Amino acid sequence: MDGIKYAVLTEKSVQLLVGKNQHTSNVESGSTRTEIKHWVELFFGVKVVAMTSHRLPGKGRRMGPMMGQTMHYRRMIITLQPGYSIPPLFYKEKSFNQNT
């Protein structure tokens, strides 16, 4: 479970969750799709049908006169088989730790 950082709760991700049974979460940028699929299936006991991922760029940060950038990260949209769901406790714990 080390590769999955936290669940993403935005308006669009909630619509995907309710309408299409798709869960959105940010993951470590070095994790592969097969690793994430294995972790989700093992930890939550669900069947993953499909996965979509995209890399989001880091944000620019200024510290005095120097300009820096935060690390980029990866977002996964995981489609579960009908009848399966991830418990809401996963979302309640991590929803307040979002710094995006």
- Nearest C-alpha neighbor of 89 from the set 7, 2, 1: 7
Q: How far apart are CA 56 and CA 61, in angstroms?
A: 16
- Give the per-residue pLDDT at 94: 46
DSSP state of 95: G
Q: Indicate whether 9 pLDDT > 60.
A: yes
Both tokens assigned to 96: 């307040």
Q: Indicate whether 95 pLDDT > 60.
A: no
Rounded mean pLDDT, 62-83: 89
Rounded mean pLDDT, 41-58: 90
pTM attached to this predicted model: 0.72
Rounded mean pLDDT, 42-67: 90
- Give the per-residue pLDDT at 85: 85
Residues facing residue 70 across a β-bridge: none
- Give the per-residue pLDDT at 79: 93
Which domains can be identified in the chain, with CATH numbers? 4-59+70-94 (3.30.70.330)
Q: Indicate whether 96 pLDDT > 50.
A: no
